[in-house]
């Protein structure tokens, strides 16, 4: 079992193949959140803010970017910022908001923001603070061009690009141009629109009208697909994945198996004809 990046997962799979060792890979990727026009704006913003800032965005199933109807980009962005400030009134010294894991990763995330800004993106920070303990102030990134690094790599931090779309097929094309994600999130109240998105996308798992929670369901398998992993675990699926069933058959002392032994003749042919009729 390995959990980590897709790049390292490929090396793990190659090493395991030399010994024919089965592997379960729980990898990452860019997990999209698709917002439908039928959504409850305040509820959507609240749950997106929670999902993105849980562990400061350092989870494999964090929403990596948002796809939002173009006319909702500004109102939803402002509502998300409001929810972030409600959950975390301050960033500096806030025990509820964790630091970025390593100095190197902190610098990388700052570099993603700088690169996006240099390419014309707008950066909306949730707080006007400058913590010195690797607590990175959450930021929304608007008008981000697709060639920006933040749109090419898994973010794994409290940065959230927001991409506007005019129709849902445009949003689906955006999702399907990338690798298959570990998670997909959809927000809305229109069940027909939801079913259309589910039929046109692939993902390791899906949560509707929230983030992260499919990961915590013991009655469902959890795992990736394609570049986001292979195999699944949790609950019964974990038991089956991490164990090997050994079938055992004990033959009775008195059995009809002798009828199948050679030499073959009329009796065997009658038995074979009977089996063909009943099967």
User: Residue 107's pLDDT is what?
Assistant: 98
Which of 61-65, 128-132, 188-192, 221-225 shows the lowest per-residue confidence on average (mean pLDDT)? Answer: 128-132
Instruction: Evaluate whether 118 touches 124 at the Cβ level (below 8 Å).
Output: no
Compute CA distances 195 → 21, 98, 245, 246, 267, whole Å.
Answer: 38, 36, 36, 40, 58
> pLDDT, tens digit, for every residue of 103-153?
999 999 999 999 999 999 999 999 999 998 999 999 999 999 999 999 999
- 60 as an active site residue: the answer is yes
User: Residue 258's pLDDT is what?
Assistant: 87
Which candidate in 26, 83, 154, 179 is catalytic? 26
Q: Three-state SS for 238?
A: helix
User: Residue 255's pLDDT is what?
Assistant: 86
- With a cut of 90, say whether residue 186 has pLDDT above it: yes
Domain ranges, ordered by start, for the chain:
28-221
Instruction: Evaluate whether 32 touches 64 at the Cβ level (below 8 Å).
Output: yes
- 26 as an active site residue: the answer is yes
* Mean pLDDT over the full length of the chain: 96
Identify the CA nearest to 278 among candidates 223, 270, 44. 270
User: Residue 171's pLDDT is what?
Assistant: 98
- For 28-221, give the CATH class: alpha beta
Q: How far apart are CA 81 and CA 236, in angstroms?
A: 39
- With a cut of 90, say whether residue 78 has pLDDT above it: yes
Q: Is the peptide bond before 263 cis (omega within 30 degrees of 0)?
A: yes
> pLDDT, tens digit, for every residue of 201-215?
999 999 999 999 999
- Both tokens assigned to 209: 């009208």
User: Residue 249's pLDDT is what?
Assistant: 95
- With a cut of 90, say whether residue 254 has pLDDT above it: no
Name residues whose C-beta falls within 8 Å of residue 60's C-beta, 6 or more positions apart in sequence: 3, 26, 27, 28, 182
- With a cut of 90, say whether residue 216 has pLDDT above it: yes
> How are strands ordered across the β-sheet holding 139-142?
122-125, 139-142, 159-165, 65-69, 32-35, 183-187, 205-208
User: Residue 87's pLDDT is what?
Assistant: 98
> pLDDT, tens digit, for every residue of 22-36?
999 999 899 999 999
- With a cut of 90, say whether residue 279 has pLDDT above it: no
User: Residue 244's pLDDT is what?
Assistant: 93
Which candidate in 39, 60, 179, 211 is catalytic? 60
- Both tokens assigned to 191: 């069940």
> pLDDT, tens digit, for every residue of 6-17?
999 999 999 999
User: Residue 74's pLDDT is what?
Assistant: 98
3-state helix, strand, coil in the chain (%, to 5): 40, 15, 45
The whole model's pTM is what?
A: 0.91
- Both tokens assigned to 42: 């305040």
């Amino acid at each position: 079992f390995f959990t980590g990046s897709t790049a390292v997962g490929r090396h793990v799979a190659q090493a395991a193949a030399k010994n024919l060792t089965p592997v379960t890979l729980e990898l990452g990727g860019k997990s999209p959140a698709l917002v439908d026009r039928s959504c409850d704006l305040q509820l959507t913003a609240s749950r997106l803010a929670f999902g993105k800032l849980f562990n400061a965005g350092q989870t494999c199933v964090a929403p990596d970017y948002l796809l939002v109807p173009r006319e909702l980009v500004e109102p939803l962005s402002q509502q998300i910022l409001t929810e972030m400030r409600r959950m975390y009134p301050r960033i500096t010294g806030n025990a509820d908001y964790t630091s970025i894991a390593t100095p190197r990763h902190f610098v990388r995330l700052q570099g993603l923001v700088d690169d996006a800004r240099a390419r014309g993106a707008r950066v909306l920070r949730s707080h006007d603070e400058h913590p010195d303990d690797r607590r990175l102030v959450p930021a929304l990134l608007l008008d981000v061009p697709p060639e920006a690094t933040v749109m090419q790599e898994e973010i794994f931090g409290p940065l959230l690009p927001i991409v506007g779309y005019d129709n849902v097929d445009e949003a689906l094309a955006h999702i399907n141009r990338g690798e298959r994600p570990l998670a997909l999130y959809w927000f809305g109240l229109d069940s027909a629109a939801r079913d259309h998105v589910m039929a046109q996308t692939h993902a390791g798992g899906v949560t509707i009208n929230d983030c992260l929670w499919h990961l915590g369901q013991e009655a469902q398998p959890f795992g990736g697909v394609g570049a986001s992993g292979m195999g699944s675990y949790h609950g019964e699926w974990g038991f089956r994945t991490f164990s090997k069933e050994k079938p055992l058959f004990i033959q009775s002392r008195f059995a009809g198996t002798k009828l199948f032994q050679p030499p073959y003749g009329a009796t065997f042919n009658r038995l074979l004809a009977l089996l063909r009729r009943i099967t």
